[in-house]
Amino acid sequence: MLTVNAAQVPVNLGELRSGIDKRPSAEPLAVRAPGPRQGGLGSGVVGDSICDPRHHGGDDQAVYAYAREDLAGWQSRLDRDLPNGTFGENITTSDVDINDCLIGERWSIGSDGLVLEVTSPRIPCRTFSTWLAVPGWIKTFTAAALPGAYFRVIEPGTIRAADRIEVIDRPAHSVTIGTVFRALMLEPELMPQLAAADALPEKIKQQVARRRSR
């Protein structure tokens, strides 16, 4: 892991107020389950801001990770500097294929007992598009199918820059972050495959069930 990032000061994006502007922290940050999306604590990272609890944060989106390698690819494609945290990620990784992680895969990070579980891909939204100010960004990001991964907190702990990531459990199915993203955004015929991934958020499970019942 390269950096742990948090938005201590929300930004105003026109009529939107957002915690997407995350910056690397020089200090260790506590991570814990934030509770339900509405009525909970928002982000799983203590000190991080979630301004739209209706659509962001909560237990199934407690922590968001994105790969530095994918940021570098976007940096070259967009011809602009994209520092760690620019995509609103709490964790910027290195040498980890985030989009190939399995739903339900568990990570141990650092030495303070933190355990995270992969839940779902990031779905691009209006806030993300407004923040980057790239014309057609939602369509461009979707077509690339490099969404990064959300995690729930299984065991709380402390996280800091350069902490080691260890995969401590991988489920027997083959449903990856990339598979879920393509099923939801690009290839709906993949939806029945997602039923094998029990760790998916309930909302996605309901979508899968509706698709299978047709």
Closest among 74, 101, 88 to 165, alpha carbons compared: 101
Nearest-CA neighbor of 202 among 119, 113, 138?
119
pLDDT at 14: 78
| pTM assigned to the model | 0.95
Strand partners, 29: 159
3-state DSSP of 44-95 = CECCCCCCCCCCCCCHHHCEEEEEHHHHHHHHHHHCCCCCCCCCCCCEEECC
Q: What is the pLDDT of residue 50?
A: 84
Tell me, what's the pLDDT at 128? 94
- pLDDT tens, residue by residue, 171-213: 999 999 999 999 999 999 999 999 999 999 999 999 999 887 7
pLDDT at 36 (0 to 100) = 87
Three-state DSSP at 19 gives: coil
Residue 3's contacts (CB-CB under 8 Å, 6 or more residues apart) are: 24, 25, 84, 85, 91, 92, 161
pLDDT tens, residue order, the chain (214 aa): 999 999 977 788 877 778 899 999 999 999 999 998 777 678 999 999 887 777 789 999 999 999 999 999 999 999 999 999 999 999 999 999 999 999 999 999 999 999 999 999 999 999 999 999 999 999 999 999 999 999 999 999 999 999 999 999 999 999 999 999 999 999 999 999 999 999 999 999 999 998 877 7
Give me 1's structure tokens.
Answer: 């892991």
Query: Which structural domains are found in the chain, ordered by start?
Result: 3-213 (2.40.33.20)
Residue type, 19: G
**DSSP-derived 3-state class of residue 99:** helix
Q: Give residue 42's pLDDT.
A: 87
| Confidence (pLDDT) at 81 | 97
Alpha-carbon distance 187 to 68, whole Å? 26
